[in-house]
């Protein structure tokens, strides 16, 4: 569990760096610096952030030791997040994402950061949906039947995700993906065949 706002900042920055969202990471770090300068200029901590954090520390008896445990837990959370992504496990990814990225950032007041995080979540789910179709995953499958079951399961999970993701920005780069689970064999469809190359997820992370 994330124990402080510093842990949250660190976790978000680590995720953005791992996914190569360079512009978003630069903007995020700039906002962090601006907030820190503002607090220093006022000569006091922001009550919303620091007050709640201090209260939790006092109630739990946590000092520096608690902070250290928080950093360790944050690191564990990032490992779970990236493992789910690499495995193409959409359900596990969404659970780890929800625990790793606070709801206030993912669904809070509209901002460039919130929008980028929601787009990143969406694209990560697309990656999970198509991973079983890729040549590397098919080669690891026990057989054609098992591969077919894995592909069908991933598309079913992605369809359920889309049913809940109505607030994802309908930007041109994303709207086409809503048809993905409704195509009989998207791996050979001209509109989607690029998704099934191993290089697609890397290019989207740049």
Structural domain span for residue 94: 5-204
- In this structure, what token pair is assigned to residue 73? 């837990």
* Stated pTM of the model: 0.61
Q: Of 164 and 43, which is predicted with more confidence?
A: 164
Calpha distance 85→160 (Å, rounded): 18
Q: Count how many domains the chain has.
A: 1
Confidence (pLDDT) at 205: 52
Average the pLDDT over 29-57 and give the result.
Answer: 59
Is 133 strand, coil or helix? helix
The mean predicted confidence, pLDDT, of the chain is: 74
When mean pLDDT is compared across 2-16, 56-70, 93-107, 127-141, the lowest value belongs to 56-70
Calpha distance 112→79 (Å, rounded): 26
Q: Tell the burial category of 178 from Cβ atoms under 10 Å away from its Cβ (0-12, 13-18, 19+).
A: middle
- Judged against a pLDDT cut of 60, whether residue 52 lies above it is answered with no
Average the pLDDT over 19-34 and give the result.
Answer: 78
CA 117, 91, 8, 22 torsion-angle sign: negative
Q: Tell the burial category of 72 from Cβ atoms under 10 Å away from its Cβ (0-12, 13-18, 19+).
A: exposed
Angle at 158 between CA 156 and CA 162, to 5 degrees: 120
DSSP 41-86: HHTS--IIIIIHHHHHHHHHT-SHHHHHHHHHHHHHHHHHHHHHHH
Q: Which of the listed ranges 31-40, 116-125, 147-156 does the model predict with the highest average pLDDT?
A: 147-156
């Amino acid at each position: 569990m994330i124990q402080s706002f510093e842990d949250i900042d660190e976790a978000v920055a680590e995720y953005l760096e791992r996914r190569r969202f360079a512009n978003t990471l630069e903007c995020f770090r700039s906002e962090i610096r601006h907030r820190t300068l503002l607090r220093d200029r006022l000569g006091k901590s922001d009550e919303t952030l620091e007050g709640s954090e201090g209260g939790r520390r006092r109630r739990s008896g946590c000092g520096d030791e608690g902070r250290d445990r928080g950093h360790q837990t944050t690191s564990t959370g990032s490992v779970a997040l990236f493992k789910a992504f690499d495995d193409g496990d959409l359900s596990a990814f969404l659970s780890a994402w929800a625990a790793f990225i606070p709801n206030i950032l993912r669904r809070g007041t509209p901002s460039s950061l919130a929008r980028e995080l929601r787009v990143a979540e969406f694209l990560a789910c697309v990656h999970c949906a198509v991973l079983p179709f890729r040549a590397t995953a098919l080669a690891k499958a026990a057989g054609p039947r098992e591969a077919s079951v894995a592909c069908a399961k991933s598309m079913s999970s992605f369809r359920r995700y889309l049913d809940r993701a109505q607030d994802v920005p309908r930007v041109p780069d994303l709207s086409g993906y809503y048809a993905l689970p409704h195509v009989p064999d998207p791996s050979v469809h001209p509109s989607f065949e690029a998704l099934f190359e191993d290089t697609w997820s890397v290019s989207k992370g740049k």
